[in-house]
């Protein structure tokens, strides 16, 4: 074998060894990256769970000022998500409204107990204070870059708006009201009227369903009324299960 061939073979062997070392190093880098990525997603998942847990506890704090020891927010979350799904929303949207809707009344933290728990009718001045809870809630939640908190802020501000423009705080009408606010409005209406309050007893389901039908185009959009009534049996069964088990 000529000297040139020997030199060429040696170069080839050297290149192959270098490539093997490079491939091995790349494999190490890929493995290290996978480990770091795994830890990153674990940390993100834990942070996300801690974040949502904190928001839920804050929502429960507002409900403890009211009746029903916070179970209202559990029912609200599931009912709102059920309506959203039946209304054709994506799985991501349904999950967001499931997480965001419990914060709909978080602004009640700023309303005095003397008003929240009053057994008689509220005066005009007391109603004015009570209605501020939607704005209080928005002020607490606004400005976040977290999608679930962004939606929660919208819900807090708009879930007392009405389709015909007669709601509060801004008298929005029709599609001016975010869909999440419209969905929570009808879910809150049903759940609130079918549960006992300090100032009244719960209404029968059929009566409340009739009230919702009568509010078509007034309090609620016609399309959402149709959606709600189409799954009302499912919603009632879901509510009864949550009441019985105190779980979702």
Sign of CA dihedral 216, 222, 226, 231: negative
Q: Is 108 a catalytic residue?
A: yes
Rounded Cα distance between 208 and 102, Å, is 21
Q: According to DSSP H, which parts of the chain are helical?
A: 3-63, 71-86, 91-100, 113-116, 124-131, 133-141, 147-158, 179-193, 205-214, 222-230, 232-245
The Cβ of residue 51 has, within 10 Å, a number of other Cβ atoms equal to 14
Q: Give yes or no for a contact between 109 and 136, defined as CB atoms under 8 angstroms apart.
A: yes
Rounded Cα distance between 76 and 78, Å, is 6
- Choose the catalytic residue: 78, 85, 108, 162: 108
Rounded Cα distance between 116 and 157, Å, is 18
Give catalytic residue positions: 108
């Amino acid at each position: 074998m000529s000297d040139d061939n020997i030199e060429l073979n040696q170069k080839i062997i050297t290149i192959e060894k270098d490539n093997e070392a490079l491939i091995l190093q790349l494999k190490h880098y890929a493995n290290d990256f996978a480990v770091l990525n795994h830890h990153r997603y674990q940390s993100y998942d834990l942070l996300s769970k801690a974040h949502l847990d904190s928001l839920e506890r804050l929502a429960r704090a507002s409900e403890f000022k009211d009746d029903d020891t916070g179970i209202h927010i559990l029912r609200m979350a599931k009912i709102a998500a059920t309506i959203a799904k039946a209304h054709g929303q994506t799985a991501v949207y349904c999950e967001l409204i499931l997480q965001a809707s419990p914060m709909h009344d978080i602004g009640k933290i700023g309303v005095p107990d003397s008003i929240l728990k009053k057994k008689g009718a509220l005066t005009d001045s007391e109603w004015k204070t009570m209605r501020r809870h939607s704005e209080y809630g928005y002020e607490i939640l606004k400005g976040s870059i977290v999608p679930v908190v962004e939606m929660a802020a919208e819900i807090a501000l708009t879930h007392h708006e009405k389709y015909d423009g007669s709601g509060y705080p801004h008298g929005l009408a029709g599609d001016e009201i975010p869909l999440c606010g419209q969905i929570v409005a009808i879910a809150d209406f049903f759940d609130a009227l079918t549960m006992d309050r300090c100032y009244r007893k719960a209404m029968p389901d059929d009566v409340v369903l009739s009230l919702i039908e009568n509010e078509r185009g007034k309090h609620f959009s016609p399309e959402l009324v149709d959606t709600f009534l189409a799954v009302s049996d499912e919603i009632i069964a879901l509510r009864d299960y949550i009441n019985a088990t105190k779980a979702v």
